[in-house]
Amino acid sequence: MKRLGNVAIVGVGLIGGSIGLALRERNLAENVIGIGRRQVSLRIARRAGAITHTTIDLAKGVAQAELVIVCTPVAQIADLVQEAARHCPEGALITDAGSTKQQIVAALDNQLSRGCRFLGGHPIAGSEKTGANYATAELFDGRVTVITPTKNTRAEDYDMLEEFWQGLGSIVVRMSPEEHDRALAITSHLPHMAAAALANTVTENYFRLAGTGLLDTTRLASGDTNLWKQILMQNRENVLKSLEQYHAQLQALHTAIRSSDEAALERFLTTAKKNRDALGS
């Protein structure tokens, strides 16, 4: 991608911080302006080398930006994009890194002021950890980033954002916002719920018996609760459906074991192993 002048990152946690680090290490932007609500987060991101400038004033932070990336929890994204559009250079492209897309895109597509456009994105990378302390320049390397254009999206905006994420090492996948949210309900939101429900099933007297299997299977439950509450609420319909599909699988397993149907149990475990092995390590 061609080197950018000023990139503004709104929200410099794990994702925003990692975008900043990757831009700087790959020399893809001259200035990376970190915009946050709290000086302490901005200081952490700056010390980590993720951003070159900091401000808590969004209007000021986006004033010179060619590209604005909103990396906050999903419930704040639409408002912050609208505010950025009122203060950034005319005709600038604004994107995000939110885990849900349908509501956000519906609120912003073709609706920004002063010739600015919103195009949604979602890097499928991250961790149960939060904050720029855990940011790394390699977070997106080899990972998929979904870009969610609509019928209003300009080809040059899509191309620019595709190049941007490819520049950070991502494999870009194009999906509609609706497709994205249906898919992520299964691949990301359901695993989070499965992990949280499992963590809630384990009582304290059993904690000392936890092996690596339980630790792996519940790891996601350590994620930021407020962030996840927002994701699950924003993708409510798909999330409910994914829970129902999961329940049907668990029910099939329960039936096989209850009726001592070893052939059915074996088929269940074999399909699961085949799927899991196909996902890679």
**Residues of this chain, 114-143, that bind its own copies according to CB under 8 A:** 124-128, 143
Helix ranges (DSSP H) in the chain: 14-25, 39-47, 58-62, 74-87, 102-108, 155-167, 177-184, 190-201, 212-218, 225-234, 236-258, 262-279
Q: Which of residues 196-235 bind its own copies (CB under 8 A)?
A: 196-204, 206-223, 225-226, 228-229, 232-233
In this complex, which beta carbon is closest to its own copies, that of residue 47 or of residue 229? 229
When asked if residue 187 is in the footprint of its own copies (CB under 8 A), the reply is: yes
Angstrom distance (rounded) from CA 72 to CA 156: 25
Query: How far apart are CB 84 and its own copies at their closest, in Å?
Result: 27
Query: How far apart are CB 59 and its own copies at their closest, in Å?
Result: 30
Query: How far apart are CB 215 and its own copies at their closest, in Å?
Result: 6
281: its two tokens: 């390590």
Long-range (24+ apart) CB contacts under 8 A made by 36-44 are 36/10, 36/11, 36/12, 41/12, 41/13, 41/131, 41/132, 42/12, 44/12, 44/17, 44/131, 44/132, 44/133
Q: Which of residues 243-262 bind its own copies (CB under 8 A)?
A: 243-247, 249-250, 253-254, 257-258, 260, 262
When asked if residue 186 is in the footprint of its own copies (CB under 8 A), the reply is: yes
Which window, 29-37, 52-60, 157-165, 263-271, contacts its own copies (CB under 8 A)? 263-271
In this complex, which beta carbon is closest to its own copies, that of residue 40 or of residue 202? 202
Phi-psi category of 210—alpha, beta or left, where left has phi over 0 and alpha has psi -120 to 50? beta
DSSP for 28-95, written as a single string: -EEEEEEE-S-HHHHHHHHHTTS-SEEES-HHHHHTT-SEEEE-S-HHHHHHHHHHHHHHSPTT-EEE
Query: How far apart are CB 95 and its own copies at their closest, in Å?
Result: 19
CA dihedral over 36, 37, 38, 41, signed as positive or negative: negative
In this complex, which beta carbon is closest to its own copies, that of residue 27 or of residue 205? 205
What pairs with residue 53 in β-bridges? 33
In this complex, which beta carbon is closest to its own copies, that of residue 155 or of residue 263? 263
In this complex, which beta carbon is closest to its own copies, that of residue 151 or of residue 208? 208
Query: How far apart are CB 233 and its own copies at their closest, in Å?
Result: 7
Q: Which of residues 18-37 bind its own copies (CB under 8 A)?
A: none
In this complex, which beta carbon is closest to its own copies, that of residue 56 or of residue 253? 253
> Of these, 1, 56, 172, 183, which contacts its own copies (CB under 8 A)?
183
In this complex, which beta carbon is closest to its own copies, that of residue 39 or of residue 270? 270
What pairs with residue 148 in β-bridges? 120
When asked if residue 172 is in the footprint of its own copies (CB under 8 A), the reply is: no
